[in-house]
Structure 1
Amino acid sequence: MTGKGVYVYAIIPVGEKLPADVAGVGSPPGVLRLVDEGQVAAVVSDAPPQLRARRRDLMAHQESLLRLTDMGPVLPMRFGAVAPDDESVRAQLAGSQAEHLAALSRLDGGVEFNLKALPAQDALAAVVSEEKNVRRLRESVRRRPGYEANVRLGEAVAAALSRRAAEAGKKILHKLTPLARETAAGPDVHGCALNVSFLIDRSRSGAFRTTVQRFADAHRDHVELRVAGPLPCYSFVSSRPLRTPVAGG
């Protein structure tokens, strides 16, 4: 390695091979290699100088993790994790080996899917038809147009859309939870009624997507569902599985 530090992508079981032809972060792209310690290994490359969250590097980081996930269990690092040198990586692997092995065992064969539920787009007709309060306010605006009446109508529509999305979100969560090993609530997202990640057996990925699509089709006047995955299992490991001094871009 160079004297610039070690960029860390993930932790995997020792003995796993690296995927071929995967480009790491940096320009020119870093070459992935392994730093072994006991029964676990860190996937690393030389850290590029002046690391920043450029699109090319973000995509390289994500692609590396996805390719690793295809080959076995992975404890992914967030973008921008840099350790001083190989020895510091080995020291941290040694100090947390039992924890890492337990997490790798728990994630083996699993992938992450993220689901967001948002208010349905273009659902005004359904809201007017099905929501008595909205229908009453709309009729009032037609009889006596005015700024305040229109504001009240707009607020009522927005509230109805959000409530309907939240209700649908609870229903789809109830349907999907039995398909998952674990679930993890995501951070609040503006305008989003539900943000949840699911740890799914890779073999059940198709069933998960089918369940989401059928629900979305049947409730398109209530909710818009957005699914991302399969993803590295970020939501089901500690926020920093390798506790090295870390520099972010």
Structure 2
Amino acid sequence: MANETGLFIYGIVPSDVEPTPDAKGVGDPPGEVTAVRHGDIAALVSEVGLEEPVGRPADLTAYQELLDGTAAVAPVLPVRFGTVVTGPDAVVDLLDAHQDRFADALDEFEGKIQYILHGRYDEQAVIGAVLAENPAAADLAAQVRGQPEDATREHRIRLGEIISQAVELRREADNAELVQALSAVSVANAIRPPSGELDSVHAAFLVEADREAEFVDAAEEFAGPRRQLMRIRLLGPLAPYDFVSAHQLAE
């Protein structure tokens, strides 16, 4: 019995978008990326075995690279990773059911790209800043310094709580400053939840493509005076993952 196949959907695009011959999809070996068209919109898809596990790091990389590459030349609505339907007819049904909504969304994202700023505090620097600003924390740190852990357990727990709370407040303040600094060179923003205790700023920005250089300059200006306290990465340009929740499929 032949293995059954389905279509993995990457994103929704205008109908005139044509996948490049070297575009690689998910799977092992990677599937050929094609477009299923319906009216003014289309879906980028590739064939996958219905029994084939999809979710390897290589699959996620292929998904992101295809969408980010597409976003560089055309508007694209990312579809939630792992969305698989039975075949072209199912894709057409999906496009037909949401045609107006998808078309309006594509118009909304025309000429726009996403960037992400993700920062991580230097542990020693942020602890030093907390101790400098909080006399109670500084006093606790002095009491436990050089002392056995067992004998100072309660003090260490309390100190850890104070530092954790202070870092959380600093993170909120830094994210607010980031949004304020970049709001004039972006059209929308979305604060992302921290992925770790030492996360600092973490936000996505929707940027007009013709203001990309201006945005990058503003991001570098924000990062400059904060380099001793945190390390910030600028990721992009990307597909607008953080701004298409109202248009995503398979909720």
1:6 alignment counterpart = 7
- The code of the aligned residue for 1:115 comes to L
Aligned to 1:63: 65
Deviation at 1:229, TM superposition (A): 2.2
Find the aligned partners of 1:97 and 1:199 in 2 and give their Cα distance. 23
Aligned counterpart for 1:233 among listed residues 220, 232, 240: 240
Structure 2 stretches lacking a partner, 5+ long: none
1:111 to 110, 113, 129: 113
Match of 1:95 in 2: 97
1-structure distance, mates of 2:101, 2:67: 20
Give the partner amino acid of 1:105: D
Match of 2:187, SS state, is strand
Residue identity matched to 1:77 = V
Residues 7 and 142 (structure 1 numbering): CA distance in 2 closer, same or farther, change over 3 Å? closer
Question: Is 1:131 matched with 2:134?
Answer: yes
CA apart distance, 1:118: 4.4
Letter in 2 for 1:134: A
Aligned mates of 1:121, 1:156 — CA distance in 2? 15
Deviation digits for residues 42-93 of structure 1 (CA, Å, limit 9, x no counterpart): 1111123413211222211111112211221011112211111111111221
Quick one: distance in 1 between partners of 2:116 and 2:32?
30
Residues 154 and 242 of structure 1, relative CA distance in 2, 3 Å threshold: closer
Distance 2:85 2:165 in 1: 48
After TM superposition, the score normalised by the length of structure 1 is: 0.83
| Other-structure match for 2:207 | 200
1:39 aligns with 2:46: no
Q: Which residue of 1 aligns with 2:220?
A: 213
Partners of 1:14 and 1:40 within 8 A in 2 = yes
Q: Secondary structure at the match of 2:236?
A: strand
Question: Contact 2:114/2:206 (CA < 8 Å) preserved in 1?
Answer: yes
Number of residues of Structure 1 aligned to a counterpart in Structure 2? 243
**Structure-1 separation of matches of 2:164 and 2:242:** 31
Deviation at 1:213, TM superposition (A): 2.9
Which region of structure 1 is more displaced relative to structure 2, 160-169 or 95-104?
Answer: 160-169
- In structure 1, what residue type is equivalent to 2:34? R
Distance 1:143 1:19, change over 3 A: closer
Percentage of pairs with the same residue: 30
TM-score (norm 2): 0.83
- 1:47 & 1:137 partners in 2: Cα distance? 58
